[in-house]
Chains A and B, each alone.
Chain A
Amino acid sequence: MSAKAAAPVQGDRALSEALFRYVLRLADTSLVLGQRLGEWIGYAPALEEDLGLANLALDLIGQARLLLTYAAEIEGVGRDEDALAFLRDAPEFLNLTLAEQPNGDFAHTIVRQWLIDAWQLEVYESLTGSADTRLAAIAAKALKETRYHYRFSSGWLVRLGDGTAESQARAQQAVDSLWRFTEELFTPDEIDERMAAASIAPQLAAAAERWVRRVDEDLRRATLVRPAPQPHPWHGKRGVHTEHLGHLLGEMQHLQRTYPGASW
């Protein structure tokens, strides 16, 4: 692509390209996290948690479908939700790096879920007032489900953290190893700024403040410690991922890649 073509164009087209990528970030985070949670089905520590994680996955994939459908309409080149989910390669996925991290033990899964639930709470709550009414409607719908998810994940965080010596050590280990991926959540780039300027998405700084307050309060109740900030080199929301995403997509996309257009 020539430098001229890559330069930001004025007017609606530039805005709609930014909006497309912004909506994909939300969609891909839900889709990838939903796919990860699905890996627990049949393996969770107890039947109730097996059902719980599967239900979270179902909601997240449902949210991803609404968002991907909208993204496809914004893009307007004839792709649909399935084409976006199953026929894009890893560098085209714009999910948060945190969402693609492997399940690890139950504590890792819960900590990853809790961090993203708390993030989605802030983002969706702000988006209910978006100047983009379609995005506002999707956010209002997703927010209800996210509140329920957060109740589940924050409840488990406290039970694990303020539990036995073993569960506390594992929960702290999970917080320590996943914390480096949280910097990305609230580090705005030009797309976030463009969306905020158009009153489509929230100012990330304000959302970050609320997120930190909530996360600190949960950590306190869970008798866990917040690690020091750890800058990291990956930026999933810009398409630069850890090696884990490719493996996840390999499994998720295998059927559609092998048998294009296959349907039930």
Chain B
Amino acid sequence: MTQAFMAVLARELRLALRRRSEWAQPLVFYAVVATLFALGAAPNAPWLKVAAPSILWVGALLAALLSLDRVFRGDHEDGTLEQLFLSPQPVSLLVAGKLFAQWLVIGLPLTLLAPVLGLGLGMEPNVILVLMLSLLLGMPALILTAGFASALVVGLPRTGVLLPVLVLPLVSPAVVFGAGAVRAAQSGLPAEAPLYFLGAILVLCLCGVPLAAAAALKNALD
């Protein structure tokens, strides 16, 4: 069982190495969005610092969403999904492997880029630490949620605007607590409480999403 999980993980990482744009695109997008906000503001505008937590959080969210609608699409189109369902492995485990790889390829680089952009938006070091912690907890939850949504729409010929419409309401709690933690740190308040909430959301996603996504994929085959 762990062998199959590792095989899925290795396959996804190999695919990411072959298709560089897949992980480079979100990073470039994130950097450009954060920079454009800074360029759009008046020099030294005080509101930029106030808005920085939500800019960095929403930017990371949108960047992660860019390529997530393709997580299961290729496997559905080329027939790999059928082989996954006919294998003796639990499909939820294979789904978990795929989404873990997505986090490694997209989520983790975005989390590591955020402090650099935070510095550019004038964040203090202690605030940047909380920003990283919040993204470390929040990014996997975002990717799991978006993975579930992309499993839901995998059988549809064209998803277009459907995926964001499905995902954005589902991830709003993560954004509220994630940006909230950074804001709390900014105003010198303890940031633990929102971070704990993010942790709880992550655990909920970890337990529920692989099973729900596997069921959604099964539905796409029917």
Q: Do A and B bind each other?
A: no
B interface list, Cβ under 8 A from A: none
